[in-house]
Structure 1
Amino acid sequence: MLGWLSACQPALNWREVRPAQSGALALFPCKPDTEQRSGMGLARCETGGKGFALSWADAPDPAQSGAALKAMAQALATKLGQPLPAAEALQVPGMTPLREAGQYRLAGSGGVTRLAVFAHGGRLYQALMTAPQDDAAAWESFVTGLRVEPAR
């Protein structure tokens, strides 16, 4: 599958990444830089004019994970000056099934932002792709490459 993705998108060099302390496996199209603080982290990279990021944080109250996911999506839409569209379905292997988990497409004059929010227990995740023009194939590769792994 990785060979097929590379052939279709030569600027993107897909690889599996397990950011330390994230509890997740992600498929990134470039080698991400990782930043960590207590209870949160960020892995991000840029290639072919597109930015890709996976961030994670521990919720103060795991019972409020659903509300936190909705707030994360709304905060990004507000920051971009866009209304928050209805969420599209999202399935990430290992995620906690919450109705607030979903993916969004936000388009504006500055480009397109794709967003996915999901949780595993009390850990919240946000996957993001930014680009001057939408690239549904790159987003699909990125979001379907996400996995939440059990603690080791």
Structure 2
Amino acid sequence: MRLSLSAGFALMLGLLLSACQPALNWRETRPAGSGAVASFPCKPEVEQRQNSGLAQCEAGGRGFALSWAEAPDATQSGAALKAMAQALATKLGQPLPAAAPLQVAGMTPLPQAAQYRLSGRAGVTRVAVFAYGGRVYQALMTAPEDDAAAWEIFAAGLRIEAAR
């Protein structure tokens, strides 16, 4: 799956689709300290630490999260992205599936930037990993059943802002 829609068009499409999903009220959010913009379907709670952070919320039985952390060395960002995806798959007790391409406006182009769909007894988890310089990001959606439309809106609403 490749995100080829422009962010503006995708957001507009998301707003139209959200009419079919009354539990999801999409809004653009700039989690403090993240250097990113994300469209969440609910107001996220934001936790910050010295070199990392997490914005998360739950809506309509689905969990949405954006986490970020500084890699010790910017040249290790690609390896960190692969390790993040693998760690999540291991935590869920599943093999890491094949990666699907991912484009996030403003991200550092790395071959390890990707999105994955993991499914198991507990439901479906979709995850995207990407970086901006030495900062690595993980966007996550969990749900009892797959919701490709909600994931597309969430993933398409991600972008990096130049000033952090």
State whether TM-score is above 0.5: yes
TM-score bracket for this pair, using the shorter chain length: over 0.9
- Structure-to-structure mapping, 1:88-107, within 5 angstroms: 88-107=100-119
Check whether the contact 1:14–1:30 (CA below 8 A) recurs between aligned residues.
yes
Residue number in structure 2 paired with 1:130: 142
CA 1:3–1:101: 2 relative to 1, 3 Å: closer
Over 2 Å off, 4+ runs: none
Please point out which of 98, 117, 120 is paired with 1:86: 98
Find the aligned partners of 1:145 and 1:5 in 2 and give their Cα distance: 14
The 2-side partners of 1:100 and 1:68 are apart by 9
Q: Please tell me whether the aligned partners of residues 119 and 125 of structure 1 are also in contact (alpha carbons under 8 angstroms).
A: yes
The normalised TM-score by structure 1 is 0.98
Question: What is the aligned length?
Answer: 152
Could you say which residue in structure 1 is the equivalent of 2:35? 23
Q: CA deviation at 1:10?
A: 1.0
Deviation at 1:16, TM superposition (A): 0.3
- 2: distance between equivalents of 1:30 and 1:129? 13
- The answer for unaligned runs of 5 or more in structure 1 is none
Aligned-partner Cα distance in 2 for 1:72–1:126: 8
In structure 2, runs of 5+ residues without a counterpart are 1-11
Q: Distance in 1 between matches of 2:145 and 2:16?
A: 22
| 2: CA distance, partners of 1:85 / 1:132 | 19
Amino acid at match of 2:92: L
Query: Is 1:11 the equivalent of 2:11?
Result: no
Could you say what the CA RMSD is over the residues aligned between the two structures, in angstroms? 0.9
Show the counterpart of 2:3.
none
Counterpart code for 2:133: G
Identity %: 76
For residue 85 of structure 2, what is the aligned residue in structure 1? 73
Deviation (angstroms), 1:9: 1.4
- More RCO (CA 8 Å, sep 6+): 2
TM-score by length of 2: 0.91
User: Per the alignment, in what secondary structure is the counterpart of residue 150 of structure 2?
Assistant: helix
2:61 to 49, 53, 63: 49
